[in-house]
Amino acid sequence: MPKIKNYKYIVPLAICLTVASCTPALAPLVETKAVPEFFNKSTDTTNIAATPWQTYFKDPNLINLIEIALKNNQELQITLQEIEIAKNDIRLRKGALLPKVGIGAGAGIEKVGRYTSQGAGDASTEIRPGLEMPEPLGDLKIAAYANWEVDIWKKLRNSKKAAVSRYLSTVEGKNFVITNLIAEVADSYYELLALDSQLDIVKQNIALQSTALEIVKFQKEAARSTELAVQKFQAEVMASKSMEFEILQNINETENKISFLLGQYPQEIKRDKSNFISLLPPVIHSGIPAQLLANRPDIKQAEMELEAAKLDVKVARAEFYPSLDITAKVGANAFKSSYLFTLPESLLYSFVGDFAAPLINRNAIKAEYKSANSRQIQALYNYERAILKAYLEVSSQLSKINNLEKSYQLKAQQVDALSRSIAVAGDLFKSARVDYFEVLMTQRDALESKLELIETKKEQLNAVVHVYRDLGGGWK
């Protein structure tokens, strides 16, 4: 019968094939869906996301606030520490690829019974002629040792790659925090400007109503009006003054919110209160949906998490395969310090290779393998959801910008008409051609329309901030 050559490799190979054949099959990943080709039928690739935030925003006070927030905001600082944690995890995984090397020393003493095999052997042994083995027996040792798991199945390398992907994910997470932080500061700043404008309008309305109140009082004294009219005008003045204090409270809360975003204690926010209604939103260039994949940090973060999850599956699969551990040791060993460095007699060395496959705990490994695959599928759906969410957010904001522009034009015309009607109603009231109720309603309608116009302007400015954020602008 012919000899089988290299028979020593047959057993390990058979073990590997058996383990591989017993690895549970997993459900295939579903391919990700393609994004639409354009927003609102536009194929222009010009994209405001490429514009730095220092250029996109024109107000120097807002730019200064954003700079302070990017320096001091606690949430951003927390995210930066997450990046450091992920970076250290890479070092940990990288270190697992290298042999673990150390040095150690030890000392001990042992006395065994004479009527034992070791005791009888030691009693009849001479170290040198005429010099018997000492009793009790000392044990001194100094040695360097190394242990290395050979990465046959790329388990450790894939683990390191997964750590790198998660590090890149935390970087994108930091970029996402920056984008949202810039948008939140800008939102709150424009809200503060809107409240300032609303406060000015309410104060102007209080002055107008107070003048009308004085007129109706004179008319009552002249028997041209009644106490009911006086009380109605008085009530309107009180209502407007109450609204003034509500706006002042909202201003205080908004300033505190901005201070929190800036990582500082409450203080007055520097701003230009004079020209809010004349602010013009920038022209929006949305580019094409495919650019979201490169510009949106949350999409890139989800992509990195998906890549890490895929590598985790490979790592979990490698747990089924045999592992090769190599252990080596070299040093000196003797029962007496004077003999410790007597070479080669005190020389100690060993070299061991262990090749082992898991058998008892295979159910636990299978469970982890299936869990890793489930996490991979979760990461895939999370990636798809991030893309869908980004597209819908941009689409909604573009539609909102278009509709707000038309709404603002109509509200501006309404304010102009009602502002003219206040003067007309006042003149007619003085000549007793209209009653006090029409004057009150005209003033109330004019106030509401002016406040709504400011609110619409704020929504316009917020919309261009949000579309800049949703397109992935601000972090570059």
Question: pLDDT of the chain along its 476 residues, tens only?
Answer: 444 455 455 555 555 545 544 566 665 665 666 788 888 777 888 899 999 999 999 999 999 999 999 999 999 999 999 999 998 999 888 888 888 889 988 888 877 777 787 777 767 776 767 677 777 877 888 989 888 888 888 888 999 999 999 999 999 999 999 999 999 999 999 999 999 999 999 998 898 888 878 877 877 777 777 788 788 878 888 998 999 999 999 999 999 999 999 999 999 999 988 888 888 888 898 999 999 999 999 999 999 999 999 999 999 998 888 888 889 999 888 877 777 887 887 888 888 888 877 777 778 888 899 999 999 999 999 999 999 999 999 999 999 999 999 999 999 999 888 888 777 776 666 666 656 667 777 778 888 899 999 999 999 999 999 999 999 999 98
Residue 368 and residue 319 in contact, taking contact as beta carbons nearer than 8 Å? yes
Residue 469 and residue 57 in contact, taking contact as beta carbons nearer than 8 Å? no
Distance (Å) of CA 410 to CA 413, 454, 460: 5, 13, 14
Q: Give the pLDDT score at 2.
A: 45
Q: Give the pLDDT score at 15.
A: 53
Q: Give the pLDDT score at 4.
A: 44
pTM of this prediction exceeds 0.85: no
Q: Is 164 exposed, middle or buried (0-12, 13-18, 19+ CB in 10 A)?
A: buried
Residue 333 and residue 348 in contact, taking contact as beta carbons nearer than 8 Å? yes
What's the rounded Cα separation, in Å, for the pair 36 and 285? 17
Q: How many CB atoms lie within 10 A of CB 14?
A: 10
What's the rounded Cα separation, in Å, for the pair 269 and 267? 6
Residue 332 and residue 347 in contact, taking contact as beta carbons nearer than 8 Å? yes
Tokens of 321: 């395969």
Give the closest residue to 421 by CA, choosing from 391, 444, 401: 444
